[in-house]
Amino acid sequence: MKIKKTERAKIPATEKAAQYNFYTDVWSVAKKIPRGRVTSYGAIANYLGAKSSARLVGWALNMSHGTGEKVPAHRVVNRNGMLSGKMHFGTPTLMEELLLKEKTIVKENKVVDFEKKFWDPGKELSL
């Protein structure tokens, strides 16, 4: 999906989540992450045009809780490959286990071979 980056970053957040394109976009991108692959908040933010607002991606994923949206947030880690959001999965080990099921090895709260498993949303069409 092609998005006007500059516009995406200027979307107000005072509206309902359903209207908040940024959130829905983040979820959409997250859902596109191939199984066994991972990406970073910054990569998604950059893809949405809010590169300097990687934190918003974290908020967006956090908002996905209770929305019924099945967002594979466990495939999203920080730029260092660390499972910075593992504590938000109900149990501190749930994120690791979900990744492990996808053959993504986690060691010391970090994704092993993160660079190899890294998936850039901007290259989804370049597969």
**For binding to DNA (CB under 7 A), which residues are involved?**
9, 11-14, 20, 22, 40-43, 45, 50, 52-59, 61-65, 73-74, 76, 78-80, 84-85, 87-89
104 neighbors 38 (Cβ within 8 angstroms): yes
Q: Which is nearer to DNA, 34 or 42 (CB)?
A: 42
Q: Which is nearer to DNA, 57 or 111 (CB)?
A: 57
* Minimum CB–partner distance for residue 108 and DNA (Å): 14
Q: How far, rounded to the nearest angstrom, does the alpha carbon of residue 22 sit from its chain's CA centroid?
A: 12
**Residue of 30, 102, 35 lying closest to 73 (CA atoms):** 30
Q: Which is nearer to DNA, 76 or 106 (CB)?
A: 76
What totals of helices (H) and strands (E) does the chain contain, helices first? 6, 4
